[in-house]
Amino acid sequence: MQVVLATHNPHKVEELRRILAPKLPALEVLAYDGPEPVEDGATFAENALIKARAAAAHTGLPAIADDSGICVDVLGGSPGIFSARWAGPAKDPDENLALLLWQLGDMAAGHRSAPLTCGAALALPDGTEWHVTGEWPGQILTAPSGSGGFGYDPIFLPDGYAISAAELTPNVKNEHSHRARAFDKLIPVLQTLLEV
C-alpha cells in the first residue's frame, strides 16, 4: 500500500520511512509534491490534520502528516506550534536555536524542561481521519551539541541520556523520539488498512 507523507521536508520523509519500515514493511511512504496548505490550527494535531487532508485530497491516496515542535515549560509551552518560525518567517533553524538559547540564558538546569511534541494524523480520501500525539521528555541544553538530526535536536537533551538528540544514532532516535511515539499510535490503523 502507498501512503503519501504530507511534507516538503526531506529529513522528515527519511525519518518517517526509517520509523515505519521495520513495523510496516509493506507500506510505501511517498514524498509529497503538492501545494502546502495554510497551517492555521491551534494545536499540533490540528495542523497535522490540515496537512494530511490536503495531501489526501491532492493525491487521492491515504496521507500521513505530522506537526511537531518543542514546548518549553518555563515559556508556557512556547515555541510550541510556532517552533519552525520562532525567530521569524524565514524558518531558519540556526536562528531559532539562537533565540531560544538566548531566552533561556539565565535559567538553571532545573527550569529548562521542554518536551519535544508531535501531533500525527492520517487522512483517507473519503474523509476518514485519525490523529494522535506523542511526547519525548527532556530539557534544553545551554549550547548546541552534535551535527545529526534537524530542528531543535542539537539543543534537546532527552530524559535518560547524557547527549543531545543530534548526537544519538538515527536508530536510537527513531525508536524513542516524539515522532516515533506518535506514529506508533497510528501503526494499528495502518496495519488494518494494509489488510483491506
Active site residues: 67
Residue 179, class by beta-carbon neighbours within 10 Å (0-12 exposed, 13-18 middle, 19+ buried)?
Answer: buried
- Closest by CA to 16, choosing from 55, 60, 57, is 55
Q: Is the dihedral of CA 170, 173, 176, 180 positive or negative?
A: negative
Return left, alpha or beta for 146; rule: phi > 0 is left, psi -120 to 50 is alpha, else beta.
left
- Closest by CA to 30, choosing from 66, 55, 67, is 55
Torsion angles phi and psi, residue 5, rounded to 5: -95, 115
d(CA 61, CA 107): 46
